[in-house]
């Protein structure tokens, strides 16, 4: 399956770098990156190290907290490149997904983009245990989707989507962002 860049751009908001900050929440940004390998588009994910104080071992999109006065796009690209070793010149930001709030106290600006020239990832070993890609066609398989009920006081959703691929489960905030991507970009509403 191929997803053309103009389709992504046409279905999402412009990738403007303004923050939608909220009191008591830290600004952060993530990037759902498409990469084309062997004629097939895939999305890039990271798995956080197991010894981290927050979200240890969890699967996430590359990204992180705002530094200084940078805008949201700059934050998403900087964090992605720090975590994966990509060159910023190889990252094209194509559109903006809905902002989301994490139960860890972050207001997350979410973007979609493309890796222009796929290269081997060079991981930030202090944060990232592995980087891996999931073929986009698999997101159209309703049998891979489900939901978990949550009662966390900061949760904006009570039914949180998850997606299973091989031995990995994408859930929580990343599951919500993935559902946003699949619904808005791919035109498929996962059965959650």
CB 62 within 8 A of CB 28: no
Q: What is the pTM of this model?
A: 0.94
Q: How many angstroms separate the CA atoms of 94 and 22, rounded? A: 25
Structure tokens at 76: 């998403």
Residue 157 has pLDDT above 90, yes or no: no
Residue 69 class from Cβ within 10 Å (0-12 exposed, 13-18 middle, 19+ buried)?
exposed
Alpha-carbon distances of 60 from 14, 69, 127, 129, 132, rounded to whole Å: 23, 24, 12, 11, 10
Q: Mapping DSSP to helix (H, G, I), strand (E, B) and coil, where does residue 91 land?
A: strand
Q: What is the pLDDT of residue 154?
A: 60
Q: What is the pLDDT of residue 29?
A: 98
**pLDDT more than 90, % of the chain:** 81
Residue 69 has pLDDT above 80, yes or no: yes
Residue 174 has pLDDT above 80, yes or no: yes
> Which pLDDT tens digit goes with each residue over 85-114?
999 999 999 999 999 998 888 999 999 999
Q: Which domains does the chain have, with CATH numbers?
A: 5-184 (3.90.79.10)
> Which pLDDT tens digit goes with each residue over 8-50?
999 999 999 999 999 999 999 999 999 999 999 999 999 999 8
């Amino acid at each position: 399956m191929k997803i053309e860049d103009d389709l992504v751009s046409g279905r999402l908001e412009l990738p403007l770098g303004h923050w939608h900050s909220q009191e008591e929440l830290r600004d952060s940004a993530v990037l759902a990156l498409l990469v084309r390998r062997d004629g097939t588009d895939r999305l890039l994910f990271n798995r956080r190290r197991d010894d981290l104080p927050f979200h240890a071992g969890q699967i996430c999109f590359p990204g992180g907290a705002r530094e200084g006065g940078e805008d949201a796009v700059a934050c998403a690209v900087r964090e992605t490149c720090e975590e994966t070793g990509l060159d910023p010149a190889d990252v094209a930001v194509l559109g903006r997904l809905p902002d989301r709030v994490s139960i860890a106290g972050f207001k997350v600006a979410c973007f979609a983009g493309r890796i222009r020239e796929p290269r081997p990832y060079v991981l930030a070993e202090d944060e990232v245990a592995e980087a891996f890609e999931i073929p986009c066609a698999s997101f159209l398989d309703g049998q891979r989707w489900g939901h978990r009920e949550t009662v966390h006081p900061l949760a904006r959703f009570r039914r949180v989507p998850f997606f299973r691929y091989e031995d990995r489960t994408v859930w929580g905030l990343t599951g919500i962002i993935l559902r946003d991507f699949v619904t808005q970009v791919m035109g498929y509403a996962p059965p959650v």
